[in-house]
Amino acid sequence: MANIKSGSESLKKAIIWISEQRKQNPEKDVVKIAQEANIQFDLNPEDSEFVLRFIKDPDS
């Protein structure tokens, strides 16, 4: 799993929320989920990029 230790609290909450969304709505587009997380948690550009990388390849 990707390392989020150095991330902001908003980023950590976003990752948890994304994981829950993927479990509840496995058919939903992951990029759409990431975009919703960016808005809901008001992520900065760096955290937004991390979320996209994480959601596309969580094992990196």
What pLDDT digit, counting tens, does each position of 22-56 carry?
Answer: 999 999 999 999 999 999 999 999 999 999 888 87
Backbone angles phi, psi at 25, to 5 degrees: -135, 70
Distance CA 6, CA 39 (A): 21
- Please check whether residue 1 lies inside any domain of the structure: no
Token pair belonging to 23: 């479990």
Domain that residue 29 falls in: 9-56
Residue 19 forms part of a structural domain: yes
Position 55 scores a pLDDT of 83
Residue 3 covered by a domain: no
Number of structural domains the chain divides into? 1
pTM score, whole prediction: 0.77
Question: Residues of the chain with pLDDT > 70: what percent?
Answer: 83
Burial 18-51 (b: 16+ CB within 10 A, else e): beebeeeeeeeebeebbeebbeebebeeebbebb
pLDDT at 60: 52
